[in-house]
A and B are shown apart, each in its own frame.
Chain A
């Protein structure tokens, strides 16, 4: 297992290197003089020159890349031009909102998606199977920002049950925060819910066709016992990976959900940065999310290896 852990951890080094290369290259796509574009048309010539020297934009591209690597590896993601603040500290300030939203969305998606997938598989080729399959298909086809708008129209504007915008205030009690997060989490989680349902269904169907399940039936075991103790346990192994991988997508999806629900997270920060052409902030945020994504993938892979005896044993045997 240790061998696997070391090998898998080392694999992220080249990936991280290329991620840094891509985020660096992103700024090279800016048409025209990047310093002029970043600082805006009103910037004074001496400010442009100073900015170029600071970022090394007057040096060869390779040197610029090495300088960028050095800056990022020492935690310097640059300075936001609109907030006049360190990019990394801005990101860290907003990250808890996005993380809470994403984790809640993942929780809702899992709690609904797994039972729906199981039900669909055990009621294979029935009305329930068809209904769940159609709903899951809608879940993976729906634009989450539109679904958010529909939820606002129905539950906030028409029924008035839940607030439509903002984060709520902890001083008004935990419920105030939770009720502000219900609609955005549900909107954000719908895509993952569809994915998890579809995956659980197909994974369960595959397991239910296995010989050992047939043997369990032949032995006269109760159906409930077979489904939950024998089938689900084995079907869950690949599902765990899919659930884990959703977190990265949810962090990105939060960009849209936060825009619709006016939540002060990373997404809102990103959209504001784009609208006001704060490229350093855009670059910093993209890099931050990509790094989180890589580490989430690493954690998921390690967890998968831990719960999947096939991988564990193959490495233990060397």
Chain B
């Protein structure tokens, strides 16, 4: 653990990513204290106000709502969708990946063929199609994004399991009479955790962008709940008169995704010994 922390602190990319995400988490947790207004307060004196006008740091939208406040509250949605969707993808993907990698055979082949088929759908398209059928909303968005993440997690975990199960300590455990469940839980699982952490971190940005995409298309979070994607969706009709309505939510998504990608890249360098060499 000490050596991990030492390497983490030395990695500029991991530290930068960690800082960005920490700020994001602070915004999400303390939104009511950080926000300058209520997220659905309408200031009719300052409709489409430019940044800085009338005490609105990032200006207001077409309903006179404070953009900074909505961004702060929007971070809650982005992080929530990230955590739940990546959680679903990682959990189910890991189970499938472990089964396919450890047992192989017919079941493994069947899982991987189904997995390949799911991977044949462009990621965003499948989420859009699922939302079109399930109907809009936060819960459905998290489920849809989580489901489309399953196959890529399954593939990564399967290849990690295939490598680990050939290791001498796994063979030794089997020779000593350990059951499959014991081998999986005591020897395989702890060793796939690094892959899982790296891949989860890299997928977080995918989840944040997917939520924004669905909300942008009107399929994700519904008004008046503030989400960065729905803010962009509302902004597209006001690009000429109020470009700030589009600039700030987009920047929020970009900075958050850069943060998660930096952290993911950093963790990969730290935790993947092959790359560390």
Contact = CB atoms under 8 A, between A and B. Distances in A.
Interface string A139-153: 011110111011011
A290 B217 contact: no
Interface residues of A, number: 51
Given A26-B129, A275-B218, 19 more contacts: A15-B120, A29-B133, A31-B135, A137-B261, A141-B205, A142-B254, A146-B232, A146-B246, A248-B122, A249-B122, A255-B124, A255-B125, A271-B217, A274-B219, A282-B133, A290-B121, A290-B122, A293-B121, A294-B120
Most A Cβ at <10 Å: residue of B122, B243, B261, B265: B122
Contacts of A252: 122-125
Contacts of A271: 217
Interface in B215-235: 216-219, 232, 235
Interface in A258-302: 259-260, 270-271, 273-275, 277, 279, 282-283, 286, 289-290, 293-294, 297
Interface stretch (A16-24, A58-66, A230-238): A16-24
14 contacts: A16-B117, A17-B117, A143-B209, A143-B232, A147-B250, A149-B232, A248-B122, A249-B122, A255-B217, A260-B236, A274-B132, A277-B132, A282-B133, A290-B125
Given A27-B133, A251-B122, A146 B128 contact: no
B201 interface: no
A318 interface: no
A22 B124 contact: no
Given A18-B116, A19-B120, A274 B128 contact: yes
B257 interface: yes
A29 B249 CA distance: 32
Contact of A149 (B133, B213, B218, B236): B236
Interface of B: 113-114, 116-118, 120-126, 128-135, 205, 209, 212-213, 216-219, 232, 235-236, 239-240, 243, 246-247, 249-250, 253-254, 257-258, 260-262, 265
A210 to B, nearest CB: 15
B258 A141 contact: yes
B232 A153 contact: no
Contacts of A173: none
Interface string A1-33: 000000000000011111101100011011100
Contacts of A260: 236
A20 to B, nearest CB: 9
A121 interface: no
A43 interface: no
A22 B216 contact: no
A293 B132 CA distance: 21
Contact of A15 (B116, B246, B258): B116
A253 interface: yes
Contacts of B117: 14-19, 21-22
Given A141-B254, A141-B257, A146-B250, A253 B124 contact: yes
B132 A282 contact: yes
A270 B128 contact: yes
Nearest to A294: B120
A138 interface: yes
Nearest to B125: A252
A274 B217 contact: yes
A82 B257 CA distance: 37
A279 B126 CA distance: 14
B125 A289 contact: yes
A256 B247 contact: no
Interface of A: 14-19, 21-22, 26-27, 29-31, 137-138, 140-143, 145-147, 149-150, 152-153, 157, 248-249, 251-253, 255-256, 259-260, 270-271, 273-275, 277, 279, 282-283, 286, 289-290, 293-294, 297
Contacts of A143: 209, 212-213, 216, 232, 250, 253-254, 257
A146 B213 CA distance: 10
A290 B120 contact: yes
A261 to B, nearest CB: 11
B129 A286 contact: yes
Contacts of A30: 133
Contacts of A277: 132
A283 B130 CA distance: 10
A253 B243 CA distance: 23
A246 to B, nearest CB: 11
A29 B123 CA distance: 18
B120 A138 contact: no
Contacts of A29: 130, 133-134
Contacts of A26: 129-130, 133
Contacts of A141: 205, 209, 254, 257-258, 260-261
Nearest to B210: A143
Contacts of B249: 146
B146 to A, nearest CB: 14
A140 B260 CA distance: 11
Given A141-B257, A286-B129, A157 B122 contact: no
Given A22-B121, A252-B125, A297-B120, A153 B246 contact: yes
B239 A152 contact: yes
B254 A149 contact: no
A17 B116 CA distance: 11
A141 B206 CA distance: 8
B257 A142 contact: yes
B89 to A, nearest CB: 16
